[in-house]
A and B are shown apart, each in its own frame.
Chain A
C-alpha cells in the first residue's frame, strides 16, 4: 500500500449511526472480480435521494468522511473500503467502527480516525455549518485538528499499524520474514488435525 503521513482537507458530514457495509456498498456490487470501479457503488441506494449529503455541491471535493457511531458494521466486504477510497476519501472519522471494516481500512491506507462521541459531534456540527472547514489528520502524531474551531484531538492507532501507514509496508512481506517460525509451528501440529476434503 501507499504510505500515508497526513490527510488534510474538507469533510462530508454523514450524520447517522450504524452505517453498515451493506449501505456503503450494496451486495450487487460484490459480484465484480476486479479491485477497482467501486466508486459508483458507494452509498448507491442513498445517492439516488437528492437530499443525500454526498449530492450536496457544498461538499464537492471533500476527502474526509465523518460518520456516526458504529460505522462500517456488518459484512466483512473489503469492497466497502475500496468504494470509499475510490470515491475520493482518504480518512473516515467516527466514534466507533465495525471491527472488520476498521481492520480492512488499515490494509488499504484508508485512515480510520476513532474519536470520542463529543469530538465527532462537534466536528459534525462544525462541518454542517461550514463545509469549507479545514481538517488535518496526522498519522505520526495520531492527531486530528480543525484550527478554525480550535479543535484538537488524538486517536488510537497501534504502533505496528502506524508504522505500516508511514512506511507503506506490505503485511504479507513482513510475515514472510518469519517463515522459519511458521515452519517450526507447523511441525508441532498434531497429525490428526484435518487436512481438508
Chain B
C-alpha cells in the first residue's frame, strides 16, 4: 500500500524507532520566540547542556513587541525583560535572532517562509501552536511546548508517537469573493474544534491547488484550531516559484536536485487515509465566527444560531455560554452586528496578499466613524513590500492605522488590546474569551471582510459596500 505525504516526510526523518517507543524524528528547522523559550534555555543551563545545532535554530521577537514607537524601549517592563532574555539567551548559545526593528524581524511564521528557511519535506517546530503554517510547503510542521523546545535545542530531535492521517479535500472552485480564510473557517464549521485530534491533515483538491502560497499558509495555519497535529499541502510549481531566489533557498545545481526531491513529495494514488472530509468549494461563501471557539462559525449572511439548533447537549451548552459572553440574541442577522475595532494582521493573515486584498477594498473609501483599525504587517519585509506598492497610503488615506510588524492584537501581549465588551472583526485565528483583551469579543474573518466591515461599521462583504 502506498504512503501519504505526511508519512513520507515522517519516514524521511526517522532517527530511531523501536517497539513500544515513539519514533525519534530529526528536526530540520527550529524557530524560537521570546515567550515559550526562556524556561527552556534555563533548563539547558541547569543541566549543563548546549544547543546541538544553533545554525538550524532561528529566533525573532514577535509576541510582546509594540507596533508603534519601536525606536523607544518597550514600555511594559515585564515584556521588555522577556525580550531582553531572548537576546541574552540567543547570544549565549550562538543563535541568530532578528530583534524588533530589524528588517527581517516579524511574526515567526511569516519570516520562516519569506527568508526561504521553510522548504518542502522538512520538519519544522516552534514553541507556538501555529507552526502548522509551514505545512503549506509540504513540510511536517507542528507546535510544541517549552519542555520540547528544550529537547530540540539539546538534541535536534523529538520523540513523536504515530499519528493518524486525515484527508481534507476541497473540490470544485471558490465563489467570487471567498478566500483561503473562508476555506479554513468552513473546514472548522464542518469538523469542529476536536475533529482533527490525533491526526495529521493533508489539504488537497482543486481549490487548494489553485491557492497562492500565502493562501495555503492561511489554511494550514489554522489546522491546530481543529486539533490536528499538523496540516500540510503537497508542494507543486506554485511552491517552487515562491521559493526560487529566496535567501536560504538552494541555487544552481542544488536547486535542481532540491526540486527533483521535492517533486516526489506527494501522496501515492493507492494510499489510504484514516479519515476523509470532502467539501464542495462552491459552498464556501465568506464566513465569520459568532462564538468563543473557532468551530462556532457561520456564513456571513446567516443569522446567529440558537442553542436549540444544536442536537448535542454539550454543543448547546457551549452555544449558550458563547451567546452570553458575546452579548448576542439568537436569530440576529450577523450583518446587523456593529463592531468597534478591526484588526488586520496575525500569522494567519498578515502577508502581502492579505494586505493587498484589504487595500483593494479600502481604496477610495473611509472607515466608519469612531472605528478603531489596526493594520499590522507580518514582518519588516511585508511592511517594506506593502509600502513599495503604496498600500500604506491607501490604508492611511482611508483612515486605517498603519503599524509596525508583530503578533499584536491576535493575543494582546503588547499594548494592542480590546477593552471589556469591545467587539472586533479580526483576521487572526482565535476567538477565545479574552483572547484579544479581557472581556473582548472577537469575530474571525478574512482580510477583505475585515476591511469591508471597517468601512461599513458592521459585518459586511466588499460586495455590500456601495
A: residues with CB less than 8 A from B are 16-18, 20, 22-23, 26-28, 30-35, 45, 68-70, 73-79, 81, 96-100, 103-104, 107-108, 117, 158-160, 171-172, 174-176, 178, 181-182, 185-186, 189-197
Known A-B contacts A35-B42, A78-B146; A175 and B157 likewise in contact (beta carbons under 8 Å)? yes
Residues of B within 8 A of A16 (CB): 317-318, 321
Contact B317 A190 (CB under 8 A): no
Q: Sorted from nearest, which 8 A-B pairs have the closest CB atoms?
A: A107-B147, A104-B145, A192-B254, A33-B38, A78-B145, A192-B250, A194-B248, A76-B143
Could you name 11 residue pairs across A and B whose Cβ atoms are closer than 8 Å? A27-B412, A31-B64, A73-B227, A100-B145, A171-B159, A185-B13, A185-B15, A192-B255, A194-B117, A196-B248, A197-B58
CB neighbors of A among B410-442 (8 A): 411-413, 430, 432-435, 438
Residues of B within 8 A of A191 (CB): 254
Contact B193 A70 (CB under 8 A): yes
Residues of B within 8 A of A195 (CB): 55-56, 248
Contact A31 B79 (CB under 8 A): yes
Residues of A within 8 A of B81 (CB): 31, 33
Residues of B within 8 A of A108 (CB): 147
Known A-B contacts A31-B64, A158-B22, A175-B159; A74 and B129 likewise in contact (beta carbons under 8 Å)? yes
Question: Can you name the residue of chain A whose Cβ is closest to the Cβ of B128?
Answer: A76
Tell me the complex Cα distance, A197–B54, Å. Answer: 11
Contact A190 B56 (CB under 8 A): no
Tell me the complex Cα distance, A178–B42, Å. Answer: 23
Contact B20 A160 (CB under 8 A): yes
Question: Can you name the residue of chain B whose Cβ is closest to the Cβ of A32?
Answer: B78
Residues of A within 8 A of B128 (CB): 75-76
Q: Most chain-A Cβ atoms within 10 A of its Cβ — which of B115, B150, B155, B438?
A: B155
Tell me the complex Cα distance, A197–B60, Å. Answer: 11
Contact B36 A78 (CB under 8 A): yes
Q: Bits for B212-239, please: 1 = Cβ < 8 Å to A, else 0.
A: 0000000000001101010000000000
Tell me the complex Cα distance, A81–B116, Å. Answer: 34
Residues of B within 8 A of A181 (CB): 15-16, 24
Residues of B within 8 A of A175 (CB): 24, 151, 154-155, 157, 159
Residues of A within 8 A of B193 (CB): 18, 70, 73
Tell me the complex Cα distance, A82–B275, Å. Answer: 33
Q: Most chain-B Cβ atoms within 10 A of its Cβ — which of A22, A117, A159, A175?
A: A175
Tell me the complex Cα distance, A76–B438, Å. Answer: 20
Is the CB of B21 closer than 8 A to any CB of chain A? Answer: yes
Tell me the complex Cα distance, A69–B292, Å. Answer: 15
Residues of B within 8 A of A45 (CB): 433-434, 438
Residues of B within 8 A of A77 (CB): 35-36, 145
Is the CB of B385 closer than 8 A to any CB of chain A? Answer: no
Tell me the complex Cα distance, A103–B198, Å. Answer: 11
CB neighbors of A among B20-64 (8 A): 20-22, 24, 26, 28-29, 35-36, 38-39, 42, 47, 49, 52, 55-58, 63-64
Tell me the complex Cα distance, A98–B247, Å. Answer: 36
Min CB gap A87→B, angstroms = 18
Tell me the complex Cα distance, A104–B23, Å. Answer: 17
Residues of B within 8 A of A174 (CB): 159
Is the CB of B96 closer than 8 A to any CB of chain A? Answer: yes
Tell me the complex Cα distance, A178–B154, Å. Answer: 12
Contact B413 A28 (CB under 8 A): yes
Residues of A within 8 A of B96 (CB): 196-197
CB neighbors of A among B316-364 (8 A): 317-318, 321
Question: Can you name the residue of chain B whose Cβ is closest to the Cβ of A108?
Answer: B147
- For chain B, the bracket of interface size reads 35 or more
CB neighbors of A among B233-253 (8 A): 247-250
Tell me the complex Cα distance, A96–B314, Å. Answer: 13
Contact B151 A76 (CB under 8 A): no
Is the CB of B85 closer than 8 A to any CB of chain A? Answer: yes
Min CB gap B211→A, angstroms = 24
Question: Can you name the residue of chain A whose Cβ is closest to the Cβ of B26?
Answer: A185
Contact B194 A178 (CB under 8 A): no
Contact of A68 among B148, B258, B314 (CB under 8 A): B314
Contact A30 B438 (CB under 8 A): no
Question: Can you name the residue of chain B whose Cβ is closest to the Cβ of A45?
Answer: B434
Q: Most chain-B Cβ atoms within 10 A of its Cβ — which of A23, A172, A176?
A: A172
Contact A18 B438 (CB under 8 A): no
Contact A17 B438 (CB under 8 A): no
Tell me the complex Cα distance, A34–B148, Å. Answer: 17
Contact B411 A27 (CB under 8 A): yes
Residues of A within 8 A of B13 (CB): 185
Q: Bits for B110-122, please: 1 = Cβ < 8 Å to A, else 0.
A: 0000011101001
Is the CB of B161 closer than 8 A to any CB of chain A? Answer: yes
Known A-B contacts A78-B146, A172-B49, A196-B58; A31 and B20 likewise in contact (beta carbons under 8 Å)? no
Contact of B154 among A31, A69, A172 (CB under 8 A): A172
Residues of A within 8 A of B155 (CB): 172, 175-176, 182
Question: Can you name the residue of chain B whose Cβ is closest to the Cβ of A36?
Answer: B39
Residues of A within 8 A of B151 (CB): 171-172, 175
Is the CB of B165 closer than 8 A to any CB of chain A? Answer: no
Tell me the complex Cα distance, A191–B253, Å. Answer: 12
Is the CB of B168 closer than 8 A to any CB of chain A? Answer: no
Known A-B contacts A70-B194, A100-B129; A196 and B57 likewise in contact (beta carbons under 8 Å)? yes
Tell me the complex Cα distance, A31–B225, Å. Answer: 23
Known A-B contacts A32-B78, A160-B20, A171-B151; A99 and B229 likewise in contact (beta carbons under 8 Å)? yes
Contact B29 A30 (CB under 8 A): no
Contact A34 B39 (CB under 8 A): yes
CB neighbors of A among B175-202 (8 A): 193-194, 197-198
Is the CB of B278 closer than 8 A to any CB of chain A? Answer: no
Contact A172 B20 (CB under 8 A): no
Is the CB of B257 closer than 8 A to any CB of chain A? Answer: yes
